[in-house]
Chain A
Amino acid sequence: MNSRRGFLRDLAAAAAQVGSAAREATAEPVAPASFPLSDAELDRYGRQLALPEWGLAQQAALREARVLVVGTGALGSPVALYLAGAGVGRLGILDDDAVELSNLHRQLLHFTPDVGVPKAASAAAKLRFLNPDIVIEPYQVRLEPANAGALVEGQDLVVDCSDAFATRYAVNAACCAARVPLVEAGVSGFTGLVMSVRPGETACYRCAFPAEPADAPASAQPGASAGSGRRPASWVRSRRSRRCACSAGWRARCSTASCRSTCSAPRSCACGRRGGRGAPTAARCDAARAAQTGPGGHGVRGH
């Protein structure tokens, strides 16, 4: 216990030291005051600033951005690491679990001395160490319908790397209600899914996955939808077939006039889309269901 505390204390102290050193180093910037990035930022982000698609405005916008990563497991770890590294100004990380030895082979934010430590705290320490110039906001809570709205409010983006369908539906509903863009991501064994949701413009998670699979692993089971544990074969199969209903697929399908005229979005859908003409997405619409179950109906034809 002492060594674990000591490890975290050292890590936090080192991160603070790096931070103050960086602030001192940038006290007298060489660049004019109007220059949007400090010398330290230019050094830190130089390699991405060199990209043709990236520049001052983009980096400054990223510094102003707020992103929430739900879950700091196998997916959330690399996601949070890269977002912190890239310079997202305010990075929220949410996890109510504690680190277990069996997590470490894939959950890259947590180290052996962290076993037993809350994941939110463990992740925050590493991310602050990685980039002391940004604000890390750890939330040691479980995201539920009751708190989802407050957590999602004011975010520029939410990345859902959680391990339970209930959490995913809560995140999706809150993002749709607050019109916050959402990236849904999940892994099961060797199968993965990424889906971006722009509320009001694209299909939402509920559109694509109207209901939790009947044989899905229990939500409390670690790594229920991220990681490399064994899954019931039927569940993997059902996920595979549903994977075709990703937002790209639905958008491609539903951008055609014929689909628009036949879609009737479910009223219970979290994205709030109404049925009828102009409704861009509906996993339950007849045309979509036929495409999903019919021969060769993968919903992503031509893509």
Chain B
Amino acid sequence: MARTLDITAFTCPMTWVRTKLELERMAPGEALEVRCREGEALENVPRSAAAAGHAVEVQGTTIRIVRA
């Protein structure tokens, strides 16, 4: 089962900061499912994650990130 992270309470850029720090604590290849609100965060977090080299997949308001 993948790790989950709820960032619905945060606004940018703390959404990405929380996601990034969670990814830092994971092993390469591990998956993280991020629950996100519609809007800015749903655009920014996948983009930042991809820019950091992780594999990213968005399904609705869930962002699935596999740590690089």
Residues of A within 8 A of B (CB): 35, 37, 42-43, 46-47, 49-50, 52, 55-57
Q: Is B52 interfacial (CB-CB < 8 Å)?
A: yes
Pairs across A and B, CB under 8 Å, 23 listed: A35-B25, A37-B21, A42-B14, A42-B17, A42-B18, A42-B21, A46-B13, A46-B14, A46-B17, A47-B13, A49-B17, A49-B20, A49-B21, A50-B13, A50-B20, A52-B52, A55-B20, A55-B21, A55-B24, A56-B21, A56-B24, A56-B25, A57-B24
How far is A37 from B18 in the complex, measured between Cα atoms in Å?
11
- If A42-B21, A52-B52, A55-B20 are given as contacts, then 9 extra A-B residue pairs at C-beta distance below 8 Å, sorted by A number, are A42-B18, A43-B14, A46-B17, A49-B20, A50-B13, A50-B16, A55-B21, A55-B24, A57-B24
Task: Give chain A nearest CB distance to B45 CB in angstroms.
Answer: 11
* Nearest CB in chain A: distance from B24 CB, A: 5
User: How distant is the Cα of A178 from the Cα of B37 in the complex, in angstroms?
Assistant: 53
Q: Is the interface of B mostly helix, strand, loop or mixed?
A: helix
Q: How many A-B pairs fall under 8 Å by CB?
A: 26
**How many chain B residues touch A (Cβ–Cβ < 8 Å)?**
10
Residues of A within 8 A of B16 (CB): 50
Whole-angstrom CA separation of A55 from B23 in the bound complex: 10
How far in angstroms is the closest Cβ of chain B from A112? 36
Nearest Cβ on chain B to A10's Cβ, whole angstroms: 32
- In the A-B complex, the 8 residue pairs with the smallest Cβ-Cβ separation, listed nearest first, are A46-B17, A50-B17, A55-B24, A50-B13, A49-B17, A56-B24, A46-B14, A56-B21
Nearest to A48 among chain B residues (CB) is B17
A47 CB contacts on chain B under 8 angstroms: 13
User: Across the interface, which residues of B come within 8 angstroms of A56, CB to CB?
Assistant: 21, 24-25
The distance in angstroms between the C-alpha atoms of A89 and B24, with both chains bound, is 22
Chain A residue contacts of B18, Cβ below 8 A: 42
Q: Residue of B at shortest CB range from A37?
A: B21
**Segment 22-42 of B: residues with Cβ below 8 Å from A:** 24-25
Give the distance to chain A from B15, nearest Cβ to Cβ, in Å: 10
Most chain A CB within 10 A, of B17, B18, B25, is at: B17
Nearest B residue to A43 by beta-carbon distance? B14
Q: Report the separation of the CA atoms of residues A52 and B25 in the bound assembly, to the nearest whole angstrom.
A: 15
Which residues of B have CB within 8 Å of A43?
14
Q: Which B residues are CB-close (under 8 A) to A35?
A: 25
